[in-house]
């Protein structure tokens, strides 16, 4: 005996595959979108984070600080240094600057920001240099103390190997350490650089991302340089007497220079494809009612479960095909995918949740649409705006609903597809594992389950009962 839901799933799959129009709609249509978006937003010169310099202003309130380097005291202004760095930094493999600095007053900057004459205004606080000194000292202490043991061992070994009878006193080593490795005092000054801008503007979003990356890079380079310097001192290499903390620090920023707007959109377009299922599912089920085949099935031993589960299976298979096809196309078009085969597996699982959400909405529409055509049109009318609301094509301004579980929820988060899109981005762009996206997946499952129950009950009541 053949399992009925399986027979129905195979039947529906054959119907979809043989119906060229529906196949085009479900697979090629989103692929066409993918190609267009890759063309428009995939190159470094495209909108947003391309090689166009961002208009910014830096308000440097830094009062400077003094720090001792090789027992000499130097006055530094890290704020000025960072400002210079922002003005000089270029996109990787290009001569184009990331930022164009506008030399304006704080008030003027505020005005320009409001008129979108500036993408962002960076305010460097008064204690920035002192915070930098703290950071450098802390790094130096850690590095120096971690190496003291090794220094002693090395020196003792050298002594043992000495052929002459001269006994270098152990105190000589200690002197050396005392001379060259003055352990800096530790202070705990923290400073916060403020990046101000219109959160509703995508230009700000892009600029802000780049600025934060530069800052992170600046910090880690300071630490790295300090560590190198301390090591060099211990090895009695005095060639680098003056530490140029910053000039050597700037390197191309990996991850940002080649990240394009398309990388944001590609996972969104997969969600868009999954949302197109709403229309197809609704149309298919409405066709069964319209053509009388549903009545024919109802007269048989088929149970509601067979039809609903069969439908679910069919569309899950189609969802998997959509996800893999669109992912492949996106990668071929330059989508920066990090993560291995696992990330694809996780993306497919997350995508299936989105697919089930679409099937549920399709069931709901099929319950109430008066005919096949209306079901299909209603599906499109809902799927397309919902795609935008889930942020499939571009990020949406904040419409905060509230905060729970340490996360701020936006109105759009009530749509399961938003959660799916967010999870897909995490998984495909950053190679995140399940633990990183568990919250998104959890919410997606809960929201989908609610939609599924509503869809199944509506469809069963309206279409599967005898009148």
DSSP annotation string for 287-319: HHHHTSHHHHHHTTT--HHHHHHHHHHHHHHHH
Selected binder of other proteins within 116, 179, 291, 373 (CB under 8 A)? 291
Q: How near is the Cβ of 295 to other proteins at its closest, in Å?
A: 6
CB closer to other proteins out of 167 and 299: 299
Beta bridge partners of residue 400, listed in sequence order: 410
User: Does the protein bind other proteins through residue 304 (CB under 8 A)?
Assistant: no
Q: Which residues from 144-183 bind other proteins, rule CB under 8 A?
A: none
Q: Shortest distance, CB of residue 467 to other proteins, whole angstroms?
A: 6
x-or-dash string of contact with other proteins, 400-439, rule CB under 8 A: ----------------------------------------
Nearest to 368 by CA among 351, 355, 382, 350: 382
**Which one, 8 or 121, has the nearer CB to other proteins?**
8
Q: Is the distance from CB of 366 to CB of 280 less than 8 angstroms?
A: no
Shortest Å, Cβ 341 to other proteins: 35
Q: What angle do CA 251, 222, 232 make, to 5 degrees?
A: 100
Residue among 301, 397, 403, 404 that touches other proteins (CB under 8 A): 301
Q: What is the largest CA-CA distance in the chain?
A: 112
Give the contact letters, 2-31, x = binds to other proteins (CB under 8 A), - = no.
x-x--xx--x--xx--xx------------
User: What is the spatial distance between Cα 113 and Cα 107, in angstroms, rounded to a whole number?
Assistant: 10
The window from 178-186, 216-224, 231-239, 295-303 that contacts other proteins (CB under 8 A) reads 295-303
Quote the tokens at residue 332: 């071929």
| 298 contributes a contact to other proteins by CB under 8 A | yes
d(CA 328, CA 321): 11
Among 192, 293, 342, 407, binds other proteins (CB under 8 A): 293
Pick from 354, 352, 368, 272: which is nearest to 313 by CA?
A: 352
Does residue 75 sit in helix, strand or coil?
A: strand
E strands within 107-222? 120-124, 194-196
Binding site for other proteins (CB under 8 A): 1-2, 4, 7-8, 11, 14-15, 18-19, 291-293, 295-302, 306, 466-467
């Amino acid at each position: 005996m053949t399992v009925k839901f399986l027979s129905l799933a195979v039947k529906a799959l054959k119907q979809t595959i043989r119906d060229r129009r529906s196949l085009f709609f479900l697979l090629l249509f989103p692929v066409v979108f993918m190609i267009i978006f890759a063309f428009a937003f995939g190159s470094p010169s495209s909108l947003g984070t391309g090689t166009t310099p961002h208009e910014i202003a830096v308000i440097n309130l830094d009062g400077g600080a003094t720090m001792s380097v090789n027992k000499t005291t130097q006055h530094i202004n890290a704020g000025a240094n960072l400002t210079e760095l922002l003005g000089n930094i270029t996109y990787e493999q290009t001569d184009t600057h990331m930022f164009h600095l506008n030399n304006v007053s704080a008030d003027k900057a505020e005005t320009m920001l409001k008129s979108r004459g500036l993408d962002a205004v960076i305010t460097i606080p008064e204690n920035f240099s002192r915070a930098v000194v703290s950071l450098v000292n802390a790094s130096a202490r850690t590095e120096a103390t971690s190496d003291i043991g090794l220094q002693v061992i090395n020196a003792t070994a050298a002594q043992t190997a000495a052929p002459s009878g001269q006994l270098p006193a152990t105190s000589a080593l200690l002197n050396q350490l005392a001379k060259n490795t003055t352990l800096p005092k530790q202070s705990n000054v923290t400073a916060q650089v403020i990046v101000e801008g219109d959160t509703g503007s995508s230009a700000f979003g892009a600029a802000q991302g780049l600025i934060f990356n530069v800052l992170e890079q600046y910090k880690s380079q300071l630490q790295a340089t300090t560590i190198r310097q301390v090591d060099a001192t211990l090895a009695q290499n005095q060639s680098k007497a003056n530490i140029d903390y910053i000039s050597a620090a700037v390197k191309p920023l990996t991850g940002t220079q080649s990240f394009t707007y398309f990388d944001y959109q590609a996972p969104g377009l997969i969600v868009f494809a999954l949302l197109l299922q709403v229309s197809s599912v609704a149309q298919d089920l409405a066709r069964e009612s319209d053509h009388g085949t549903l009545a024919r099935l109802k007269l048989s031993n088929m149970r509601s479960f067979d039809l609903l589960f069969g439908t679910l299976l069919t569309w899950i298979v189609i969802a998997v095909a959509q996800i893999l096809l669109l992912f492949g196309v996106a990668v071929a078009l330059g989508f920066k995918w990090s993560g291995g085969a696992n990330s694809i597996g996780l993306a497919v699982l997350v995508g299936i949740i989105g697919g089930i959400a679409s099937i549920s909405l399709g069931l709901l529409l099929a319950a109430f649409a008066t005919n096949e055509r209306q079901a299909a049109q209603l599906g499109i009318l809902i799927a397309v705006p919902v795609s935008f609301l889930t942020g499939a094509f571009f990020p949406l301004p904040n419409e905060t609903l509230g905060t729970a579980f340490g996360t701020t929820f936006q109105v759009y988060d009530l749509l399961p597809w938003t959660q799916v899109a967010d999870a897909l981005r995490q998984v495909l762009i950053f190679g995140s594992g399940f633990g990183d996206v568990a919250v998104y997946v959890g919410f997606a499952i809960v929201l989908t389950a609610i939609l599924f129950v509503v869809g199944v009950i509506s469809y069963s009541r309206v279409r599967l009962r005898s009148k």
